[in-house]
Structure 1
């Protein structure tokens, strides 16, 4: 997530991916309920997991941010991914996903709040976006609870809804 550091919340940390995280990403995407809202909703082959990690590390080096591993602080276990994706033809987007065993614990809300604060405070952004499949009502609810509002004019995929959060500096 952050080039030289980690993003920490009360219960989680988002750290840069390490090459050894490929196996954990593959395992996360092996659960069809975790994979269903990401790209084509398919399991993630090892080679693609390794490429994701490589590109995330390149983004960290080039831009100072990207996506990383979500680690539960109490257990030290990698339980998901989070950060900012960089679509070629659009603004950076918040992305996140968690292992099903860690759903319904408020971790999604914790991640979205921390990522929005990071976009505002560390990246100096005045807004942040996230795209969500229309049937992914849980993520839509998390985003709405964090103050995001629908803004479909930014969605590059017609099957996604775009949510925008306008950030104010305190």
Structure 2
């Protein structure tokens, strides 16, 4: 990863590192059951605003990646956040997107995901982008397939015993896109 701050612009959105100013928005997103149910938090993530602020204060040390905010180009209104993922020892990066429900089914998820996947390959040195959508999340499953990821496995994630009172198991598919296949797809779309 280069020393430059991560970020990019799409046709309708600007993506840049999340800051403390984004904490209330991210807190609202993470505590919204509609957003978090498919990732195992049916009542939303039990996190305080102060805990979100602490994560944003130490953004470079965020486990597994860097939080980014997605804002409309026209109004600068936040509509979601992304996780730019650091590749693991095998070169696998698992980025993520979360959008406010009022922006679902408007093409923003696709726009962000395609740009985020490209950014992962262009700027992080990852060899594989991986996604693990809940099997019941038809929109996310469709998104992976549109972006060229291929289903390679089905699995079940269960939270540690200490978290089971407020979580649910997550049956999910494992989708992957290799750097080589992404390059070939990119050339074919030119």
> Which residues of structure 1 form unaligned runs of 5+?
none
SS in 2 for 1:36: helix
1:19-58 equivalence runs, <5 A = 19-41=20-42, 42-43=44-45, 44-58=47-61
In structure 2, distance between residues paired with 1:53 and 1:118: 21
* Aligned partner of residue 74 in structure 2, secondary structure: coil
Which residue in the other structure is 1:167 paired with? 179
TM-score of the superposition, structure 2-length normalised?
Answer: 0.73
Query: How far is 1:113 from its partner?
Result: 0.7
Structure 1 residue 136 displacement after superposition: 1.1
Aligned-pair RMSD on alpha carbons? Answer: 2.9
In our comparison, the structure showing a higher alpha carbon Rg is 2
1:68–1:82 Cα contact (<8 Å) kept: yes
| Equivalences, count | 165
Q: Distance in 1 between matches of 2:103 and 2:178?
A: 28
Indicate if the aligned counterparts of 1:17 and 1:53 stay in contact, CA closer than 8 A. Answer: yes
**Cα separation, partners in 2 of 1:123 and 1:81, compared to 1, 3 Å:** same
Scaled by the length of structure 1, the TM-score of the pair is 0.81
Which 5+ residue runs of structure 2 have no aligned equivalent?
A: 159-170
* Deviation sequence 1:22-60 (CA, Å, 0-9, x none): 111122234321121235342442133224323433359
Q: Secondary structure at the match of 1:118?
A: helix
CA offsets per residue over residues 115-166 of structure 1, 9 Å max, x none?
A: 111122222333211111111111011111111111227x683632211012
3-state SS of 2:157 partner: coil
